[in-house]
Structure formats: structure tokens, C-alpha cells
Structure 1
Amino acid sequence: MIGKGMSIAHTKASMSYGWNQEKDAEVVFKQELIGNNPEEITQEFKMLQEQNYHCQKNTLSFVLSPTVEDGKRLKQKELEKVCQKFMEQMELEQRQAIAFVHRDKEHTHIHLYVNRIDYKGVAYNDSFIGKRSQQAAEKVAQQLQLTTVKQVQMEKEFLLQDVRQEIKRRHELTLKQFTPKNFEAYIKSMETNGVKVIPSINKGGKLQGFRFEFNGYNLKGSEVHRSMTGSNIGKQLYGQSNSKIKSIAPVKILNNAVPVAPRLAMSILKKIAKKTIKYTIDAGLGI
């Protein structure tokens, strides 16, 4: 579950959004309040807020977002429990508060509004409220056996590792199977093997690298593996023969010839030259 929080001044406008019936909003939590619409609730908030004229952002606004799967199964009572536990973690007990759940999208989420001013006219300390909101949401998720942000991140990282390995495997297969001699041939060959190679074009309209799209993921070459940066792929393609190469030809993309960025071209040529020198030395030494 993700938690976000901030202090706001536009209480009525935000609460009206939260209570928007077109979004099938449902009140799931109410504390120290009796009003039945945004105007009445705002007036109740205001009665306490008038005790502290120095505090302009006098309402706390939180958004609590369970994972998609958790959101589908959580009923009103369980969502109310989420709000109660979150209020406890944020040390906001005994304050006016109201929460609405939105189910208008696939991702169920809660809008929680809390009066920043207490019954003594004291403003709640909102220092680092964004970070504290996330930490509180994490603890609530653990208490209620919901999926935590860390668990989601670990799962994504685990899946991402498999995707990286598979893209790299198909990259190596492409080089061995089709032996492409330039970027254009490489892009077509990778597509044949199920990986979409997306050229990265800089502001000057020149090729500076590649992204790889596979199984719903879109990654830079360097994010896949260090051997799949634009310069390293170029070295593998253009350096297959040990003949001297003076320039890298433009790449045809959507029927347009796109020149290779000078920096990328220079990096490729340097890597090829280094490889050629090593090859020559090794051959001379009989290695």
C-alpha cells in the first residue's frame, strides 16, 4: 500500500472532489464530525481552524492506495480499519477526519482529510509529512496483512531480472543467428526474435542509443546489460571484420536516414580500433 500526504488550504474544493458522486465515492471513515456534505464538513473544520489564524494550510490531505488485488477484496469495514490504523500511526487521534473510497478506476484508493488544527487550536507538525505518510502506510499494510511497497518492489525487481536476462539471451541469439552487420539489420533481426528495438534520437535528430521493449517492459540498453549500450552493440556489429572502418553509416528509421550521433560513432570506432590492436598483438604473439 502506498501513502501520500500534504497540507492544503483549499479544504472545500478538495473535499468536494473526494465526495464526487460521479466517481462512486463512498464514505468509509468519519471521526468527530456530523455533517453530511462537503459544505457542512468544511464549516465544522473551519470552526477549529479559526482558532489558529497563522496556519494557512490548515487541512491534511492523504491518499492511501492498496495494490490492485488488495483493493478488489477490501470491503467498507476493512477500508475503515485502514484509515483508523493510519490515523494512529500518524498520531492524529481525536481530530476531525473524513475519508472516501474511489473505485472508479481499476486501482481502488482512499482520500482522507484531517483537520490540521486540534481542539486547542494547535496545528499538527507537517514536517516530512510525505515520507511519514509512506512509512505509516507501510506499517498499516504489515499490521493488516496487505501488500507493502517493499514487497511490490521486490516482486518487480525479481520479474525485471528475468526480463533483462531474456532480452540479453535474445540479443546474443540474434548476433549468432543472423550476424547483422549494421544497426538497421540488427533492429530487424531482433524484431524477428520478439524484441522491439527502439532507437533513441537526441534533440539534434541523431541516433544516440537504443531502448528495448519486451513483455511489457521498456528498458535502456544499459539497464539490460553493459554489453548492450549503443557503443558496445556497435562494436559487436561493425567490428565483426577486422578491417579499418572510418565512419558509421546513417540508420534507416521509418524510411528516413538518421545519422549516428558523433559521440556514439566515435565511441564505436575507438572500441573497434582497440579490438583490432588487441587482435593484431595476440596474433603476433601466437595467442
Structure 2
Amino acid sequence: MIGKGHSIASTEASIDYGWNQEKDAEVVFRDHLAGETPKEIIEEFKIIQSQNERCTQNTLSFILSPTVKDGQEMSKAQLKEITSRFLKEMELKNRQTIAFVHRDKAHTHVHVYVNRIGFDGKAYNDSFIGKRSQIAADNVGKELGLTRVREVQQEKLKELNWQRLAIKHINNKVMETRPKSLDEYISKMKACNVQVVPSINKSNQLQGFRFEYKGVNLKGSEVHRSMTGSKLIGEISQNASYSRLREVPKHLRLIDKTVRISSNMAAKIAKDLVKQVIKRGLDTGMGMGY
């Protein structure tokens, strides 16, 4: 089961969408709410939210998605149980909550809306809420014996094993030529029939790469752990330096424009640099007690 979550300001539009009858919406969970229509529930949310006007993104929105097979077999009671357990994992019990199941597609999924403002007027801490949602949904899936996203991903990677090996082999050959820029690396991979697609967010931050080969599209980490964005950037940046790379680059030239490195990627590059320093120290006999 997959979980996604974020804070939103558009409470009214979101709950209206959740209760969309064209999607065969059905309420599967509610808590601390008396309203029977979207408008009534939104008004109840607003009463509590008025205690904390500084918080503008005052509603939490989650999507819980069992696998297609698991979802097809789930009753309303089972979906209610999943939602309840997920809220407990997220420490969101005893808050105004409404959840709807959508069965308009083959993939059954639940939309959950929680008032971020508690009855005490305090806002729920939404730091890393996306990642925490994934972990909470995975824990619930494990508890209930559902198919977990990790299992689905592992099965998918097994099925694509020969493509992964081919992409890794081509990458190794290209890296042996010591490309000194991302553009050079991307160009050489393309010449070997591998399309490298940068993942750049709305803030112009580079977050990683995807690799397209023979109709398959995979993240670098899905091909091999040595092909994550941080690993590739660290190695290519090292190729471009006359001396060993000592600090994390903040910007890179990519496809005729400058992009920033995301903080998450920068932290991983920094970690790799520390490992390199330690390894060089050990290789030269430092820190060995002599």
C-alpha cells in the first residue's frame, strides 16, 4: 500500500473533490464531525481553524492506495480500518477527519482530509509529511498483511533485470571515458541508446535522473545504487577538477542552463566526500594507531 500526504490551503475544493459523486465517492471514515454535506463539514473545519489564523495551510490531505488486487477485494469496513490505523501511525487521532473511497478507476484509493489545527488551537507539525506518510502506510500494510510497495517494486525490478544490467554496463563504459560535464555524460549515454532524463523540480533544483532504454524508464537508484544522482554528480564533478573535489557544488550547467542541486542531493554528495577523505586517510596509514 502507498501513502501520500501534504498540507493544503484549499480545504473547500479538496473536500468537494473527495465527495465527488461522479467518482462513486463514499464516506469510509469520519471523526468529530456532524455535517452531512461538504459545505457543512468545511464550516466545522473553519470553526477550529479560526483558533490559529497564522497557519494558512491548515488542512492535511492524504491518499491511501492499496495495490489494484488488494483494493478490488476490500470492503468499506476494511478501508475504514486502514484509515484508522494510518491516522494512529501519523499521531492524528482525535482530530476532525473525513475520508472518502474512490472506485471510479480500477485502482481503489482513499482520500483522507484531517484538520491540521487541533482542538487546542495548535497546528500539527507537517515536517517531512510526505515521507512519513509513506512509512505509515507501509507499516499499516505490513500489519494487515497487504501487498507492500516495496514488494511491488522488488518484483518489478526482477522482471526488468536484463534492462537494468544493460543500462549499468553502458553507464560503466561511458564513465570509463571520464566525462567532465553532465552534458557530456548525457550525450555519450544517448549515443549508446540510453536516454538520460534529469528530474528538475519547480524550484529549478536537480533531484536526480531517470534512464530510458528499450521502452523501460527507471530511476538511477532502480538501475544500481552507484547510479543515483549524487553518485553520478560527485564522480563527474571530480573528473572536471584538477584536484580532488573538496566541497559540494551548489550549481551545475545542464542542457544550456544552470540548475541548483537539491539540499537532499547535496547532503548525499557531502556524505560521499567524507567517505572518500576517510578512505584516503586509511590508505595512507592515518588513524591506524601508529
Q: How does 1:1-287 map to 2 (within 5 A)?
A: 1-161=1-161, 208-210=191-193, 212-213=213-214, 217=216
CA distance in 1, matches of 2:223, 2:42: 51
Corresponding residue SS for 1:210: coil
- The answer to whether the Cα contact below 8 Å between 1:213 and 1:219 also exists between their aligned partners in 2 is no
- Which deviations, in whole Å up to 9, do the C-alpha atoms of 1:213-260 show, x marking residues without a partner? 37xx4679xx999xxxxxxxxxxxxxxxxxxxxxxxxxxxxxxxxxxx
CA distance in 1, matches of 2:164, 2:84: 41
- The answer to whether the Cα contact below 8 Å between 1:95 and 1:118 also exists between their aligned partners in 2 is yes
Paired amino acid for 1:62: F
Corresponding residue SS for 2:214: strand
Q: Indicate the RMSD between aligned Cα atoms, in angstroms.
A: 2.5
Give the superposition deviation at 1:208.
Answer: 2.7
CA distance in 2, matches of 1:164, 1:120: 52
Give the superposition deviation at 1:164.
Answer: 5.6
Paired amino acid for 1:6: H
CA distance in 2, matches of 1:55, 1:218: 39
1:155–1:224 CA distance, 2 compared to 1 (3 A) = closer
Paired amino acid for 1:156: K
Paired amino acid for 1:115: N
TM-score w.r.t. length of structure 1: 0.59
Higher Rg of the two aligned structures: 1
Unmatched 5+ stretches in structure 2: 168-185, 195-212, 225-290
CA distance in 1, matches of 2:158, 2:122: 46
Corresponding residue SS for 2:121: coil
Paired amino acid for 1:208: A
Percent of aligned positions that are identical: 57
1:110–1:162 CA distance, 2 compared to 1 (3 A) = same
Give the superposition deviation at 1:159.
Answer: 1.2
Give the superposition deviation at 1:158.
Answer: 1.4
CA distance in 2, matches of 1:142, 1:93: 20
CA distance in 1, matches of 2:193, 2:67: 32
Corresponding residue SS for 1:107: coil
Paired amino acid for 1:135: I
Unmatched 5+ stretches in structure 1: 169-202, 226-287
TM-score w.r.t. length of structure 2: 0.59
Corresponding residue SS for 2:191: strand
Give the superposition deviation at 1:14.
Answer: 0.5
CA distance in 1, matches of 2:223, 2:68: 27
Paired amino acid for 1:121: G
Give the superposition deviation at 1:156.
Answer: 1.0
CA distance in 2, matches of 1:219, 1:209: 16
